[in-house]
Amino acid sequence: MNGMQFVDHPNGVKFAMFPTLRERGLRHGVSTRIGGCSENGLASLNLGVKVNDRPENIRRNREKFCEAVGVDATRVVASGQIHSDHVAVVDHRQAGQRLADTDGLVTCTPDLPLLLFFADCVPLLFYDPVRKVIGLSHAGWKGTFLSIGPKTLTVMQHTFGTDPEDCLLGIGPSIGPTDYEVDEPVLSQIITRWPSTEAFAHPGRPGHWSLDLWEWNRQQAIAAGISSENILISGISTAQHADIFFSHRASQGKAGRFGVLMAL
């Protein structure tokens, strides 16, 4: 599991973080399934509201995760993700809110935690240590197809003057390149916008391809101006580590959601 380290907080929560981002002053964490109060298939640190979990479990789990990362749970800005390319700029006015139909969040406001939810899709953690700006995106194949990563970076550029060469990008735990299979209709749709897929789509069994979302997002980030040396890939496939991270595919669609927190 290269690229990340695990942290065991005294409150029982285990989370992962990128040491390079932490060393540069970024508070962040990727929750695991460990340390919460949810039960059965959601055991135990489910953070998602779109699954059959009790609201009090979700609230307590989020509070414990925020405590572990060191952020104020009452100020968290979350979103209702729909696999879109909509990126919202937020500040203190959105503290404590959940934004509908949003798959990317950007802020320069200190102590304003951003929170998105995952169960195989790719978390993209953008950090501009010069301008002190952060961005967090949710990139499944649809979001990646729509260039949610580069669009998040563009919002950072246009709103706060971010220079992509200053940025670091963490590609968090998500379904890995050997575990994610798509069929011909999906690949055909991808080809309409990305004709050259050789680097991130590889033939598998008849009529199916293995899709490497890590490489696809890495290539998009480089094309958008981020140096390859500043791109950190967790190397953790949620499908292979479904005992640690929720995985939609590994659980046949019955997964909870882990979360990614970022805060300046």
Q: Give 87-143 pLDDT, tens digit per residue.
A: 999 999 999 999 999 999 999 999 999 999 999 999 999 999 999 999 999 999 999
State the pLDDT at residue 24.
Answer: 95
Q: Which residues of the chain have pLDDT under 70?
A: 1-2
Structural domains in the chain plus CATH codes: 5-263 (3.60.140.10)
> What is the C-alpha to C-alpha distance for residues 199 and 172, in angstroms, rounded to an integer?
19
pLDDT given at position 2: 52
Q: How far apart are CA 106 and CA 3, in angstroms?
A: 23
Q: Are 48 and 257 in contact (CB under 8 A)?
A: yes
Q: Backbone dihedral region of 71: left (phi > 0), alpha (psi from -120 to 50 degrees) or beta?
A: beta
Distance CA 127, CA 170 (A): 8
The packing angle between helices 213-223 and 148-160, to 10°, is: 30
| 252 φψ region: left (φ > 0), alpha (ψ -120 to 50), beta (else) | left
Q: pLDDT at position 193, please? A: 95
What does the CA dihedral 222, 225, 230, 235 come to, rounded to 10 degrees? -30
Q: Which residues contact 158 (CB under 8 A, 6 or more apart)?
A: none
**Rounded Cα gap, residues 55 and 100, in angstroms:** 18
Query: Are the CB atoms for 176 and 200 separated by under 8 Å?
Result: no
Instruction: Quote the pLDDT of residue 3.
Output: 82
Is the pTM above the cut of 0.95? yes
Closest by alpha carbon to 111, among 74, 158, 166?
74
pLDDT score for 149: 98
What's the mean pLDDT when you consider all of the chain?
A: 97
pLDDT of 1: 40
